[in-house]
Structure 1
């Protein structure tokens, strides 16, 4: 009986923010979904870091964007959707951190996924006063580019070091404390 209850609970957690059958096939056939990850995430040692893939697309304001714009800075890439409850908690906290570090060589980029109507995404950004840009990625193509990292769990956050290498991966809501600690670590590298 207890095993059955645990299996049912695990299934519910894995489908909490599931999007349905039109999801992009990423990471071994997975769909975009909310999963309970490790809150502290994983910081990758410098000698084990791999270069992040290049990607491009249009920002919510319609402007074109290329990942080369992140070159030379520490970058926080956050995969989010207005349909995802943890994103409503995390995104305003990201804005607070962004306001504190944007003049220290840190860039933030949101990746809005599985949002076919940009109006919902823009309303989300406007409602929370988000100042950092967000790429509109309704088909999850950027997540597909990051296939070696679990960017199909929403929210997910990938942090890049100044060399454009993947330095940290979070597959759950990131606390402000953990975000700041990892940024401090990455900013101190090579300083």
Structure 2
């Protein structure tokens, strides 16, 4: 039975994603917040991975924004990358990636030709720490910020197009009503 132990551990890690600290009890969740229960997103600022300048979430007030925390070494991040890009292109919603706990060269190699939206290089993971009331807790993690700058949805696992698109569309529809 011992040879199965490494396989079981590998399967468990694959199901929970690549953690970056935080509580594993929250891994694998999709949490939607009613508008009255939403908290303001913290300041999200940083230098872009491609060196083209800086990003400031505050400049996006009035728009829905999807934030994806990722790392080049994270297999679930690789799996969801094409789906995130597809939803970004399909809906025309602003997306921003936040690369955490990674080496810049490896992050750039992963990012290039994979996404058309910007990505912040945050090797210390400081941005995720600022989300105290609604922490991402895992890598990958995706947050949907409503047009008022509040956290509407927190996804603490890899997500696919068919699940992400309706979540983003629902939050975007709120700002139209």
Instruction: Normalising by structure 2, report the TM-score.
Output: 0.84
Structure 2: give runs of 5+ residues left out of the alignment.
Answer: none
Match of 1:114 in 2: 101
Structure 1: give runs of 5+ residues left out of the alignment.
Answer: 20-25
- The 5 Å alignment of 1:69-148 reads 69-102=59-92, 106-115=93-102, 117-128=103-114, 130-148=115-133
| C-alpha deviation, 1:84, in angstroms | 0.2
Over aligned residues, Cα RMSD in angstroms?
A: 2.6
| Alpha-carbon spacing, 1:12–1:190, altered in 2? closer, same or farther (3 Å) | closer
| C-alpha deviation, 1:174, in angstroms | 1.1
SS of the counterpart of 2:18? coil
Match of 1:61 in 2: 50
How many Å separate the matches in 2 of 1:144 and 1:118?
20
How many Å separate the matches in 2 of 1:190 and 1:18?
33
| C-alpha deviation, 1:186, in angstroms | 1.0
Q: Does the 8 Å contact 1:113/1:138 carry over to 2?
A: yes
Asked if 1:52 is matched to 2:41, the reply is: yes
How many Å separate the matches in 2 of 1:12 and 1:97?
28
Q: Does the 8 Å contact 2:97/2:118 carry over to 1?
A: yes
How many Å separate the matches in 2 of 1:165 and 1:136?
22
Asked if 1:167 is matched to 2:152, the reply is: yes
Instruction: Normalising by structure 1, report the TM-score.
Output: 0.78
Q: Which deviates more, 165-174 or 141-150? A: 141-150
Give the number of aligned pairs.
Answer: 168
Q: 1:153 aligns with which of 138, 141, 164?
A: 138
Q: Does the 8 Å contact 1:37/1:170 carry over to 2?
A: yes
| C-alpha deviation, 1:157, in angstroms | 0.6
